[in-house]
């Protein structure tokens, strides 16, 4: 029996990672192949591949949207795809490996530069992976800091202000801790974009670039610019200095590269910070004004983005924008984002409850699980249902999420935490209305989806 090894990873490390693992294992069993899958989840790598595993394998499947140390597989047939491919097309991926239709991985320079047979698609794929590596490592800081700040508001919106009658020492401490976690959000994001490109040499220059983005007001947009600039600068510098004698290795890695990288990226961000900051501020102000001038349009946009790819790049764009505005004290935008992310799995859960006879036993069991996933802000629970007929199911979920988001903006509900689902109801400005908005969108979506399933069953 041929042995295949695989690595799965998604930006959050919560759902897609393990869904891809399960899909690959199931497909391997059906095709008569042995497989070992390393998962890079939120708590780190599990079932880690050993040197022996790598040696014994006939090929490697990397289904990941962030850095998973692929250089350890150099010299092996390696198929690098998105985590979504691992979920939706596991049989095809395994067949390609078993039939020797996979190229030999040559090394980091080829994949980072995006040259060779992969062409332009490789460049876009690599940029996306670097960006998601930054998002993946940033999210725990966002969630931890945001939730602590939100909890501090339980004592009052001014509970951290010593001059206010609402002041509470414990609440002030929570605000301070959460604020510190939030303050390194952009530097962490930037540092891990750079390290995904250039490994450890990119980390320092990227982190300092992120600090400069914060200091100059360039914010998240500046962090993206600094991260990619730092990464590719340090990769170029590493290649330029590769010819130095081995005795200079310590000098190169500890002194020359950090000094040059920090100086150049720091200087560039010092000069670019204000122009990029103006763009960043303008974009945030426009989004902030849209929630007042046209909340329905904003709700449609946010809802459609969040339900389009269930935790993928489009969903993450809306979510990260919400966290950026959250850091600036705008709690309205995140209310719609959270509502839109919670809705899709609740649509599935309610549909399987209301229209039971149009679903299989397996789907009914998965539907019950979606009550838990939806209530805890895990959008990915809807993926297995949407994957069966994406052209019809995804638009239904987008409509439902748009209704939920638009209603929260119309009612001007504030959510000061970036995650948590219904667990954060005590700190929502109007928890009953917010819950009602989400339930309304979810019920409408459930009815639409249930009617669709009924129509499909009648045509069979």
Task: Give 277-324 pLDDT, tens digit per residue.
Answer: 888 777 767 766 776 778 898 899 889 988 887 666 677 777 777 877
Contact 370, 449 (CB under 8 A): no
Contact 212, 273 (CB under 8 A): yes
Contact 182, 327 (CB under 8 A): yes
| Sequence spans of domains, the chain | 3-109, 121-280, 294-459
The strand order across the sheet containing 44-46 reads 44-46, 34-41, 3-9, 59-64, 78-81
Residue 297, judged by CB atoms within 10 A of its CB (0-12, 13-18, 19+), counts as: middle
Task: Extract long-range pairs of 22-28: CB within 8 Å, 24+ residues apart.
Answer: 23/86, 23/87, 23/88, 23/90, 24/61, 24/63, 24/86, 24/90, 24/93, 24/94, 26/90, 27/90, 27/91, 27/93, 27/94, 28/4, 28/90, 28/94
- pLDDT for 12 beyond 80: no
- Judge: domain 3-109, CATH 3.30.365.10: no
Identify the residue with better confidence: 149 or 187. Answer: 187
| CA 21 to chain centroid | 18
- pLDDT for 209 beyond 90: yes
Helix (H/G/I), strand (E/B), else coil: 261: helix
Residue 311: the pLDDT is 64
**Which H or E run includes 6?**
strand 3-9
Residue 11: the pLDDT is 73
Cα–Cα distance for residue pair 277/269, rounded to 1 Å: 10
Identify the residue with better confidence: 30 or 382. Answer: 30
Contact 400, 442 (CB under 8 A): yes
Q: Which pLDDT band holds residue 269 (cuts at 50, 70, 90)?
A: very high
Mean pLDDT of the chain: 85
Identify the residue with better confidence: 427 or 392. Answer: 392
Marked catalytic residue, from 4, 5, 10, 143 = 10
Contact 366, 345 (CB under 8 A): no
Cα–Cα distance for residue pair 194/224, rounded to 1 Å: 10
Q: What share of the chain is helix, strand, coil (3-state, %, to 5)?
A: 75, 5, 20
Cα–Cα distance for residue pair 210/415, rounded to 1 Å: 26
Average pLDDT in the 165-175 region? Answer: 89
- pLDDT for 117 beyond 60: no
- pLDDT for 120 beyond 70: no
Q: Partners of 41 in the beta sheet? A: 44
Strand runs labelled E in 21-91 = 34-41, 44-46, 59-64, 78-81
Average pLDDT in the 225-239 region? Answer: 92
- pLDDT for 262 beyond 50: yes
Q: Partners of 38 in the beta sheet? A: 7
- pLDDT for 113 beyond 50: no
Identify the residue with better confidence: 262 or 284. Answer: 262
- pLDDT for 216 beyond 50: yes
Q: Which pLDDT band holds residue 69 (cuts at 50, 70, 90)?
A: confident
Helix (H/G/I), strand (E/B), else coil: 252: helix
Tokens coding 21: 């693992």
Residue 460: the pLDDT is 58
Closest residue by Cα to residue 280 from 329, 229, 216:
216
- pLDDT for 76 beyond 80: yes
Contact 381, 343 (CB under 8 A): no
- pLDDT for 154 beyond 80: no
Q: Which pLDDT band holds residue 110 (cuts at 50, 70, 90)?
A: very low
Q: Which pLDDT band holds residue 146 (cuts at 50, 70, 90)?
A: confident
Q: Is 341 a catalytic residue?
A: no
Tokens coding 24: 């690959």
Cα–Cα distance for residue pair 250/158, rounded to 1 Å: 51
Q: Which residues contact 9 (CB under 8 A, 6 or more apart)?
A: 17, 39, 40, 41, 63, 64, 65, 66, 68, 83, 136
Residue 455, judged by CB atoms within 10 A of its CB (0-12, 13-18, 19+), counts as: exposed
Cα–Cα distance for residue pair 238/396, rounded to 1 Å: 49
Listing DSSP states for 108-146 in one string gives: HHHHHHT-STTHHHHHHHHHHHHHHHHHHHHHHHHHHHH
**pLDDT digits over 87-109, tens only?**
888 999 999 999 988 889 876 44
**pLDDT digits over 53-64, tens only?**
999 999 999 998
Average pLDDT in the 325-342 region? Answer: 84
Phi, psi of 263 (to 5 degrees): -65, -50
Q: How many other C-beta atoms can be found within 10 angstroms of the C-beta atom of residue 41?
A: 18
Percent over 70 (pLDDT), the chain: 93
Cα–Cα distance for residue pair 140/41, rounded to 1 Å: 12
- pLDDT for 459 beyond 80: no
């Amino acid at each position: 029996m041929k042995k295949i090894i695989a690595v799965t990873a998604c930006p959050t490390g919560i759902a897609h990672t393990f869904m891809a693992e399960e899909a690959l294992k199931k497909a391997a069993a059906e095709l008569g192949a042995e497989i070992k899958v390393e998962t890079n989840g939120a708590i780190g790598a599990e079932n880690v591949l050993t040197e022996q595993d790598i040696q014994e394998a006939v090929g490697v499947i990397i289904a990941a949207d962030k850095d998973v140390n692929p250089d350890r597989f150099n010299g092996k047939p390696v198929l690098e795809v998105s985590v979504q491919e691992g979920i939706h097309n596991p049989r095809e991926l395994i067949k390609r490996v078993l039939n020797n239709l996979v190229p030999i991985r040559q090394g980091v320079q080829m994949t980072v530069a995006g040259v060779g047979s992969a062409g332009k698609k490789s460049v876009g794929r690599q940029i996306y992976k670097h960006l998601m590596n930054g998002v993946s490592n940033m999210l725990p800081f966002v969630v931890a800091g945001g939730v602590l700040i939100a909890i501090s508001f339980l004592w009052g919106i001014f509970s951290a202000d010593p001059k206010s009658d609402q002041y509470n020492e414990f609440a002030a401490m929570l605000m301070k801790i959460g604020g510190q976690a939030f303050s390194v959000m952009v530097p962490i994001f930037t540092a891990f974009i750079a390290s995904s490109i250039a490994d450890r040499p990119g980390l320092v220059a990227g982190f300092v670039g992120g600090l400069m983005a914060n200091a100059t007001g360039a914010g998240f947009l500046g962090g993206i610019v600094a991260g990619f600039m730092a990464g590719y600068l340090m990769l170029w510098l590493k290649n330029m200095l590769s010819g130095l004698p081995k005795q200079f290795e310590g000098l190169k890695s500890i002194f020359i590269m950090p000094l040059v990288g920090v100086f150049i990226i720091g200087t560039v961000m010092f000069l670019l910070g204000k122009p990029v900051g103006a763009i960043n501020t303008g974009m945030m102000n426009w989004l902030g004004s849209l929630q007042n001038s046209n909340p329905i349009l904003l709700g449609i946009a946010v809802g459609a983005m969040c339900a389009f790819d269930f935790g993928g790049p489009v969903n993450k764009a809306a979510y990260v924008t919400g966290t950026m505005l959250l850091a600036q004290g705008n709690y309205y935008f995140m209310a719609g984002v959270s509502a839109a992310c919670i809705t899709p799995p609740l649509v599935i859960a309610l549909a399987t409850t209301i229209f039971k006879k149009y679903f299989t036993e397996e789907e009914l069991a998965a539907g019950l699980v979606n009550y838990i996933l939806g209530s805890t802000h895990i959008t990915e629970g809807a993926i297995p249902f949407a994957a069966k007929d994406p052209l019809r199911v995804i638009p239904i979920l987008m409509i439902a999420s748009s209704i939920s988001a638009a209603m929260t903006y119309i009612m001007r509900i504030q959510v000061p935490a970036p995650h948590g689902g219904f667990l954060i109801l005590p700190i929502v400005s109007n928890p009953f209305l917010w819950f009602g908005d989400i339930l309304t969108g979810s019920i409408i979506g459930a009815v639409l989806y249930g009617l669709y399933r009924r129509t499909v069953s009648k045509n069979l």
